Structure 1
Amino acid sequence: MPSEETQVVVVGAGQAGVAASEHLGAAGIPHIVLERHRVAERWRSERWDSLVANGPAWHDRFPGLEFTDVDPDGFASKDQVAEYFAAYAEKIGAPVRCGVEVTQVRRHAGRPGFRVETSEGSIDARFVVVATGAFQRPVIPPIVPEDGVVPVQLHSSGYRNPDQLPAGAVLVVGAGSSGVQIADELRRSGRRVFLSVGPHDRPPREYRGRDFCWWLGVLGRWDAETPPEGAEHVTIAVSGARGGHTVDFRALAASGVELVGMTASYDDGVLSFAPDLAKNIALGDEKYLELLRAADAYVERNGLDLPEEPAAHVLGPDPDCVTDPRRELDLAEAGVTSIVWATGFATDYGWLEVDAFDERGRPKQRRGVSTEPGVYFLGLPWLSRRGSSFIWGVWHDARYVADHIATQRGYLAYGTPDRPGAAPATTQKN
């Protein structure tokens, strides 16, 4: 059976794939976007019911379309975000094919381009853009055996609401945005909750009348190209829930959530925690205070008329669970019937059979341009900058990738019979 042909195949129709399609379309580059489910499917079916975006609507969007049903300073629900991207794809006329799974990509032998095998046949493409993002395979550390001592263990991507879990206490492992919001929701539902806290960054939701997204922008931190040592593994604890608020672990403890250190090991029904809780809380506090100080310096340097907020610099005393943390938890004795692992995701490129990965399976790329000619990546953390895995950041990365593809097409066309003297095509660099 002959294969279909196109210039570019984009794999994935989430925010990265839609952004790629916009810029490829604007450059007049023929392409197809393949999505195994629906546009922005992970927002629809792999998030809990009450999730909202962690950035305000004025920030967490693409330049070409505003949210029509969310106040600019409000936080869109997961369903509103999904519908936003579906509307955006329709607005730009993105050639998205839903329900088509990519099963294999391999380079042609002896000629340029790739054979893309899908659930609906094969496609020959000169370029492939991998827009599957960073949240592909949920990671659950192999700590607690699945032997029934805890009736339910699930990843945060499988959590929906408190009623989903059996009666009893819950341990939430992971103190990023997902972990703290799920722990807070469970506690508000009347559950006894333990929250395992690791290293984290907890920026202020708002300071001196401006959202933290604004502060990171004017301070140039969204555009940082290299993470501080170890920062790429540190989760960000920020929340848009209930209108948005600063994540405060002291407030969580005061509400009844018991904080513990990082989950370390399991033995005969007892979990052990690392002695790092106070250190993790203190480091998160310092990052929070450092951003406040940087914001104050920016206000003074630029003569801005923004109200002072001295109370934001004042941290309350550490709760007892931090000063004298629990080191062990007998799960049965504490009545723990569920563990929610908010422990992040890993990538899964088993279908991408090209020489584009290092010894640890990570893409070898610069600003999304792979070391394997013709292959590109989008939506990964720190792809080009701190904001690369965020909605606005992936849009700008996609523009750079589309520009690179346009330039490469120009080189490939140079000297061909239909363009005997053509020069490489170029568009404006980002």
Structure 2
Amino acid sequence: MEKINTLVIGAGQGGVATSEHLRQHGIEHIVLERGRIAERWRSERWDSLVANGPAWHDRFPGMAFSCDDDAFADKESVATYFEDYARMIDAPVRTGVIVEAVTPHAGRAGFHVQTSDGEFDALNLVSATGPFQKPSIPPIVPDAAEVTQMHSTAYRNAQALAEGPVLVIGGGSSGSQIAAELNDAGREVYFSIGPHDRPFRRYRERDNCWWLGVLGIWNMDTPAPGTEHVTIAVSGAHGGETVDFRRLAERDITLLGMTSGFEDGTLHIADDLKTNINAGDDNYRSLMKAADDYIERTGIDLPPEPEAWDLPDDPACVANPIRSLNLAERGITTIIWATGFKFDYSWLHAADALDEVGRPTHQRGVSKVPGLYFVGLPWQSRRGSSFIWGVWHDAKFVVDQIAIQESYLQHHQRRA
């Protein structure tokens, strides 16, 4: 049984950031990682993936990316960045260790942690496994259907897929980039999209990330009603381009509404395509208006961009949407589900740690369970919590709470 003050689970961006702050406080700790540092960036993303934010923004304060500040780092560069960062701060990372079970001690503080590499007795535990834990595929198309189905985490490139048209389901960042890449590779693509936000990539010579910062949107502490799970269609591909579904249709991608059901080889498509696209347009325009108002209010010198307000006419697939799609008749051989992720805390055996659907119960990453903390959750403290820089600041807050508890224990020991 190895005893440790704080055990951190996961050596992605959350775990590396947590280690940096623990070291600054002088708190003894170990970081356990089931694969390599930043493993999901390496083995669970497609080949051409790049970060959705520019390098000047999506990074930790202590190190810049090796690429140009305005570039969007590719996935291998992101993984290497965290590996180099862990080396720079001398993070005590143990790779290839799977955490199998975590159980609070009975009658005393701390946790018993069972791993593939032995047992630990930890006073504190920080789960830094992030929001992308278990791929989520809606139970719509049965496994027995004569079509290959995969989650976006299993997609690598167009050449690795079977010949034939491809259906991409999910209109967020991943689905938008994969659909465009398949189209560029000469594939016939059907693209099913649901409700989404569709911000501009750049406007009036500043990136979307900069605008969200100066407008205070990154610091929103709670999502607007009904928007917690709305996907965001934004991309850093090809140097960063605004996602425009109508222009994807002009490239012969067939847009569809939400996939709502499946029967006898035919997909049922909701009658919501135009509604979803229009709502995305509203989000796009509202952000530009907020940017224009900011410029007028502050007098900052940025050139106008009236052409950004011009949107294409509805293509035929939007004006006359498809409501059913027979997979065999269309020759569709592959379905790629870009439908997000679920939490998986099956290893955490602690009452009150999770809610009824398996999400952590916490306040800014501090659990109701004494000594248990979370880093890297969506909306952990603000909208920016899921981004690299946001994780770093959330980790600092969490470790500060661990240090505060340490000071209370030290006071108790002195008095005792």
Letter of the structure 1 residue corresponding to residue 332 of structure 2: V
TM-score normalised by the chain length of structure 2: 0.99
Deviation digits for residues 92-120 of structure 1, max 9, x if unmatched?
01100001111111111111111111111
Which of 297, 320, 326 is 1:330 aligned to? 326
TM-score normalised by the chain length of structure 1: 0.96
Structure 2 residue ranges without an equivalent (≥5): none
Say whether residues 1:55 and 2:53 are aligned partners: yes
Offset of residue 289 of structure 1? 0.4
Identity of aligned residues (%): 61
Offset of residue 413 of structure 1? 1.7
Offset of residue 148 of structure 1? 4.2
Distance 2:412 2:96 in 1: 39
Which of 378, 383, 404 is 1:381 aligned to? 378
Say whether residues 1:109 and 2:109 are aligned partners: no
Say whether residues 1:74 and 2:71 are aligned partners: yes
Say whether residues 1:27 and 2:25 are aligned partners: yes
Query: Which residue of 2 is the match for residue 45 of structure 1?
Result: 43
Say whether residues 1:393 and 2:390 are aligned partners: yes
Say whether residues 1:317 and 2:299 are aligned partners: no
Offset of residue 420 of structure 1? 3.0
Query: Which residue of 2 is the match for residue 122 of structure 1?
Result: 119
Query: Which residue of 2 is the match for residue 420 of structure 1?
Result: 415
Letter of the structure 2 residue corresponding to residue 227 of structure 1: P
Partner SS, residue 334 of structure 2? strand
Offset of residue 260 of structure 1? 0.3
Letter of the structure 2 residue corresponding to residue 222 of structure 1: W
Say whether residues 1:277 and 2:273 are aligned partners: yes
Query: Which residue of 2 is the match for residue 131 of structure 1?
Result: 128
Query: Which residue of 2 is the match for residue 424 of structure 1?
Result: none
Letter of the structure 2 residue corresponding to residue 127 of structure 1: N
Partner SS, residue 140 of structure 1? coil
Structure-to-structure mapping, 1:239-254, within 5 angstroms:
239-254=235-250
Deviation digits for residues 284-341 of structure 1, max 9, x if unmatched?
0000100000000001111011010011112121111111100001101101000000
Query: Is this contact kept in 1: 2:12–2:39, CA < 8 A?
Result: yes
Letter of the structure 2 residue corresponding to residue 203 of structure 1: P
Distance 2:369 2:259 in 1: 39
Say whether residues 1:224 and 2:257 are aligned partners: no
Distance 2:26 2:384 in 1: 27
Query: Is this contact kept in 1: 2:247–2:312, CA < 8 A?
Result: no
Structure 1 residue ranges without an equivalent (≥5): 422-430
Distance 1:263 1:138 in 2: 18
Query: Is this contact kept in 1: 2:196–2:231, CA < 8 A?
Result: yes
Partner SS, residue 318 of structure 1? coil
Distance 1:149 1:44 in 2: 30
Distance 2:374 2:274 in 1: 38
Letter of the structure 2 residue corresponding to residue 379 of structure 1: G
Say whether residues 1:303 and 2:273 are aligned partners: no
Query: Which residue of 2 is the match for residue 407 of structure 1?
Result: 404
Say whether residues 1:205 and 2:201 are aligned partners: yes
Query: Which residue of 2 is the match for residue 18 of structure 1?
Result: 16
Query: Which residue of 1 is the match for residue 173 of structure 2?
Result: 177
Distance 1:33 1:415 in 2: 28
Partner SS, residue 352 of structure 1? coil
Partner SS, residue 231 of structure 1? coil
Runs of 4+ in 1 over 2 A off after TM superposition: none
Letter of the structure 1 residue corresponding to residue 347 of structure 2: W
Query: Which residue of 2 is the match for residue 340 of structure 1?
Result: 336
Deviation digits for residues 147-169 of structure 1, max 9, x if unmatched?
2421x110000000001111000
Distance 2:110 2:338 in 1: 39
Query: Which residue of 1 is the match for residue 88 of structure 2?
Result: 91
- Count of aligned residue pairs for this structure pair: 415
